[in-house]
């Protein structure tokens, strides 16, 4: 901690290099994240609710549409390096996270983010239209 704030770079260096440390951190943070998400969803006005998550974790239970924003690993790596990470730091982070294949296996809707902003904008429009047609399963759970 610096000045009462978490040093995110130092924390990332630990948890992306040590699976046990990452699991310990997730055991601490995930219950509170779930509580906060449930409260925010309960307070949201009717309509579409979007929850952005860096990990495919069922924090809200069944009944949610899983939209995955996807890009090939080499594109993801180049973007992380462009944001200031070394290639080794970026690879370590990517290896600690679920693989692209794991994300795509979970996806009910995929947005291709492998090209420029114009392509991404068209993909987002397509996804928004699909979301508008989506029907949540009748599970009785909270969902969009």
- State the 10-residue block means of pLDDT for the chain, 144 residues long: 80 87 91 90 87 78 86 96 94 90 92 96 95 73 45
CA distance 143 to 49: 8
Residue 64: how many CB atoms within 10 A of its CB?
19
| Predicted pLDDT at 2 | 67
Residue carrying the six token digits 């809707």: 109
Instruction: Classify residue 2 by its DSSP letter.
Output: B
What is residue 54's predicted lDDT score, i.e. its pLDDT?
A: 78
Architecture, CATH, for domain 8-133: 3-Layer(aba) Sandwich (3.40)
Buried b (16+ CB within 10 A) or exposed e, 105-127: eebeeebbbeeeeeebeebeeeb
């Amino acid at each position: 901690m610096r000045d009462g704030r978490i040093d995110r770079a130092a924390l990332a260096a630990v948890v992306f290099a040590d699976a046990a440390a990452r699991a310990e951190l997730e055991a601490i943070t995930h219950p509170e994240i779930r509580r906060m998400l449930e409260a925010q969803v309960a307070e949201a006005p009717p309509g579409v609710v979007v929850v952005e998550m860096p990990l495919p974790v069922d924090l809200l239970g069944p009944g949610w549409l899983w939209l995955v924003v996807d890009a090939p690993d080499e594109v993801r790596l180049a973007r992380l390096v462009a944001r200031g990470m070394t290639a080794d730091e970026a690879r370590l982070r990517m290896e600690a996270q679920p693989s692209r294949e794991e994300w795509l296996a979970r996806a009910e809707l995929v947005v291709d983010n492998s090209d420029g902003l114009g392509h991404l904008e068209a993909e987002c429009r397509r996804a928004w239209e699909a979301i508008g047609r989506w029907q949540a399963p009748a599970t009785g759970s909270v969902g969009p």
